[in-house]
Structure formats: C-alpha cells, structure tokens
Chains A and B, each alone.
Chain A
Amino acid sequence: MSGAEVAVAGVGMHPWGKWGRSFVEYGITAARAALDDAGLSWSDIDFVAGADTIRNGYPGFIAGATFSQALGWQGNQVASCYAACASGAQALDIARARLLAGLCDTALVVGADTTPKGFFAPVGGDRTDDPDWLRFRLLGATNPTYFALYARRRMATSGATVEDFAAVKAKNSRHGAANPNARYRKAVTTEEVLASPVVADPLHLLDICATSDGAAAVVLRRSDEVGQSTGAPPMVRIAGISTVTPTYPQTVIEMPNFATDSAVAVPAPPRPFRDAIAHAAYDQAGIGPEDVDVAEVYDLSTALELDWYENIGLCAPGDAESLIRNGDTSLGGRVPVNPSGGLASFGEAIPAQALAQVCEITWQLRGTATGRQVEGARVGVTANQGLFGHGSSVVLVR
C-alpha cells in the first residue's frame, strides 16, 4: 500500500462474560475506552460504524445509530452492518475506506453483543425458506455439528487426535489466564478437556467456544494525522482488511448449508475459502505468512484452530498437529496464536469478536500486552469465519 495509511489510534473493550445487561452499555464502555486510549473525545468523532447484533431487537440492527445516540447525537455520519462473525471487520473496513477517501477524519468502530444461554438458535418464527432455520428443523444441526464435522474430517486426513484438540484449549486457557478482558481466566488441562462431556463427537464441551456478552471498539485515523509523542508506544497501522466471499464452487460444507456447491462444471478454486480470506489480506498488505509474528484466529472449536494454522499459511496442509505438539503456537514459540486466549477464553460475542482480535493484535504490536506479550512482534494477522460465507482477516503492522 502506498500513500496514506490508516492507523489504529485507540482500542478498548468491555470485559467478556455473561453479564446479562444491554449490549449498548457494553458498547459505550468499549467506545469510551478506545477514545481514552486515542486521547480523543466523542466530539472528535465524525463517523461511527456499528457492527450489528441480530439477537437484541431493532437497536441491534442499527448499531451505528444506537451507539451514536447513546454517546449523544452530534450529527456524525453513521453506518451499520451485519456480516455474521465478520461484522466487526466489515465495519472496520467501511471506516477505513471512508478515511482513505477523505470522507471522514476520525472514525469510531463499535461491536457489542448480549447473548442467550445455550446453543445459538435461529431467529424466531416459522421460516421454511431460511436455511438457518431449516438446518435445525430437518437435521438438528447446531453450530457445533459443523465444527465437529470439520474436526472428524481432520482426524481422518491429518492424523489429529482428541488430545491435539484438547492441547489447543489448554494452550489458549494458559494465554487467556493473563488477559483481564477474558471471560475464563483459569488454565485447564488436556485431561480436563477430555473429561468434559462430548457435545458433538469428537468434540467435548471444553473444545467448543461459549457464547458471551462483550464489546470492542477501535478508533481509526489516517496515519499522517496521528502525532507520535516521544516515548509513546509505536503506531499500529492497518495494512490489509479482507472480507472476501467464497469463490464458486465452495466445496467445503459451510454453515448453515445442507450441501456444498457442486464441482461438476467448475473445479474447486486453488485456495479454499478460509485460505482465501487470509491471503487476500496478505496480498493487500504486501506480505506473506512468513512475515507474521502473532496471529489471532477464530477458534470456534479447538480443532478449527488447527485448520486455521494451515489456512493462514503458518504451515503446510496436514502439518498443524506438529505446531501444537511442538509448542510453536504457544507464547514463547515460533509464532504464537491466540495470545489473548482466543474464543476458548472469551466465548463468542459475534459483532465484537473480529474487533476484539484487532484490539489484541494492536496491544501486541505496541508491546503492551502485559502477561501475554509476544516479544518483538511487528506484524500480526487476524482471521475469522461465520455463517453464510462470511469471513475476515486483518493485517496490522508497526
């Protein structure tokens, strides 16, 4: 990327948990934390992008306006967007585009959620034309069903074991124990994971991420507008944001679908969807996976984190087990993954989660991730994927 870049001026979060309060309250807490971190006030913001929540009524569908009103109407431009688990990154991308186009000077991006207990269920009503409704009715297929299909497939093709999956949880729980924003802050062992009940064979309860309340916010400015005072942490810049769709045919079964695309007429693309998500961000940034010092990936399940190692290019397909077994992705290893503790320690607060990944990478690149710092990290990448062919990846550099 040449010319002006977009800098992360401030980041902030509301701790993840099951607090049972309004998502708006969490979002405002995160927004104020990000503004404080940027040394700015609400009146400096001229654009707000909200990542929507679909389980909190109308205010959730218009999150950008909801947060703006809660902070006090001041006539700022606003956008709200929903992109499943990638909602936060898509909101971030909208803000970045407006900054690069010169259509705003200081942007605030906020995602927040309040979640119900238990499995994520489809939105209510009798909606027989909605695949997300039909998969529960006709298959009894929950989100963990799909995670488990990927996990079992991985066991068959890569030699993964349930112990490998459990080791991912153990690693992430160790990382998350040091994170004040994490919901679960107790280290668990592989034995504890394997002793927890099986939810969707081969995945145990502790292999699968919880659903959480939480919020994350990011303040963006053009890098040439951000003053750097002596002794301040290094400026973190956004080098790439990918929100690509799959390329036809998508030959890996995708939530909430009943079938993959057919590869009869067109061969499967050389890069499967999850690979393409990360590589589009790498291409924008002009870097490759070999440049990455730290990664935050979407461990909806422990097994899926192993898939991500390959998808974002940390190793060749089929080699992810060696990374977890060798400790390469633990703090102190070759390329630590999920130093925040990941979804294993946070649980998923859908519209906030992609932004939480950006917050963590920002702290890592600044060198201020106390207790979980990846020493000397200069380049970080995030990756996530959600329903209906949504995914995102953000490359951050200092």
Chain B
Amino acid sequence: MRASVPRMADTVPAIAGWFTDDPAPTLLGTRCGACGTVCFPGQQQRCPNPNCGSDQLSEHRLSNRGVLWSYTDARYQPPPPYVPTADPHQPFAIAAVHLEAEAMVVLGQVPDDVATTDLEVGLPMRLVIEPLFTNDEGTTHTVWKWRPDPDTGAGTDARAGTDVRAGTDDVDADQAVGEGRR
C-alpha cells in the first residue's frame, strides 16, 4: 500500500472535515480564540474548558508529527460499522500519538505495511492520508493514519532526538520493546 493516494473522483474522505492533505496531511480540529484550547475532532459549539466556554472557535490544523504514546493491533476483525478490507482479516496496528504543541494524544490506524514489531513507545510518528476501505461501488474512502517518521528513521534507534517530554522520559528501553511473537 502506498503512502499517498492519487486524488481521483472515486476517492473520498471517510469522514468530511476531519482531515486534509492539502497542502500537507493534517488533522482539522478547532482552536479557541479566547484560551487556546485545541479540540479534535473539532468542537461545534463552545470551548470545553469549563473556565472559558467561549464560542470563538476557529478551524485549527493540528501538528502532523508527534511521538508514539502507545500502540496495539487488531488481530480479529472488528464488528460493523468497521468495513473489512481483506478476507480473511489482516491484522492492522493502531497508534496513540502525543502531539507536543497541542498537549494531547490522538489515535489513528497505522498503515498496513507497519507491524507492531516495528513500533516502540517514544517513536516519532507522522500523519499520512491512506485508504481505509473501498466500497462495492469502487469508491475508496480515505482516513488519517500514523506512520513511523522516515525523517528521523523508524526503528529502535529512532528515539534519539525525540522530545522526551512527550512521556518517554520514564521509559525503560528494555521494557518498551514488544514482548516478541511466539
């Protein structure tokens, strides 16, 4: 599976208004004009900060790079409304990524060519837009995914240069490695 998707008429976002890849893959949330609170998905009405409550919310493009907070995978096919992409089911990984500037964690699938054995808490990650599923009419629905960041090199040495404030300062490297497949 390729990291980028040609923008064709038969490719649509799996959900409208949550992400864009123009000019770069980015999640679209909201930012409060009064207190600076960021929300993803975007908040429709008022700022959720109970000390604020402002309705001055504007679209905000979230950081498209972050640090892996945790991860897992789906070894069994999730129930509907998950749309199967392979028969039999092929496991896919799911990442929770900490965004420094927004001080929040955002979930996302990981592209099919990345396994949990390629992941480690603390890895730098970047946002990509990839196919989620193709429906019976041949329309490909796209979604955001988190991919190990090639700029810093995916792998066990990638934590060098990572901002450890994102929750990796307490990681014992020996324990952060996956338990290994049996």
Which residues of A does B touch, CB under 8 Å? 118-119, 121-122, 126, 128, 133-142, 144-145, 148-153, 155-157, 159-162, 194, 197-203, 248-249, 251, 253, 257-266
Cβ contact within 8 Å between B78 and A140: yes
List residues of chain B with CB within 8 A of the CB of A259: 39-41, 104-107
**Distance in angstroms between the alpha carbons of A198 and B29 in the assembled complex:** 34
B73 to A, closest residue via Cβ: A201
Cβ contact within 8 Å between B94 and A262: no
Judged by a CB distance under 8 angstroms, whether B161 is at the interface is no
With A148-B72, A156-B171, A265-B36 as contacts: A136 and B79 at CB distance below 8 Å: yes
**What is the interface size of chain B, counting residues whose CB is below 8 A from a CB of the partner?**
57
List residues of chain A with CB within 8 A of the CB of B72: 144-145, 148-149, 151-152, 200-203
**Distance in angstroms between the alpha carbons of A156 and B40 in the assembled complex:** 26
5 examples of A-B residue contacts, CB within 8 angstroms: A201-B71, A259-B106, A264-B104, A265-B36, A266-B37
Cβ contact within 8 Å between A141 and B78: yes
Cβ contact within 8 Å between A263 and B103: yes
Cβ contact within 8 Å between B78 and A119: yes
B95-138 interface with A by 8 A CB criterion: 96, 101-109, 116, 121-122, 132
**Distance in angstroms between the alpha carbons of A142 and B92 in the assembled complex:** 13
List residues of chain A with CB within 8 A of the CB of B182: 194
Cβ contact within 8 Å between B107 and A139: yes
Nearest 10 CB-CB pairings of A with B: A148-B72, A156-B121, A121-B79, A263-B103, A153-B70, A265-B35, A137-B81, A262-B38, A140-B78, A262-B104
- Interface with A: B1-9, B45-53, B149-157, which one? B45-53
Q: How far is the CB of B103 from chain A (nearest CB, A)?
A: 4
Q: How far is the CB of A203 from chain B (nearest CB, A)?
A: 8
Q: How far is the CB of A207 from chain B (nearest CB, A)?
A: 12
**Distance in angstroms between the alpha carbons of A141 and B109 in the assembled complex:** 9
Judged by a CB distance under 8 angstroms, whether B164 is at the interface is no
Judged by a CB distance under 8 angstroms, whether B24 is at the interface is no
Cβ contact within 8 Å between B82 and A157: no
Judged by a CB distance under 8 angstroms, whether B176 is at the interface is yes
List residues of chain A with CB within 8 A of the CB of B40: 258-259
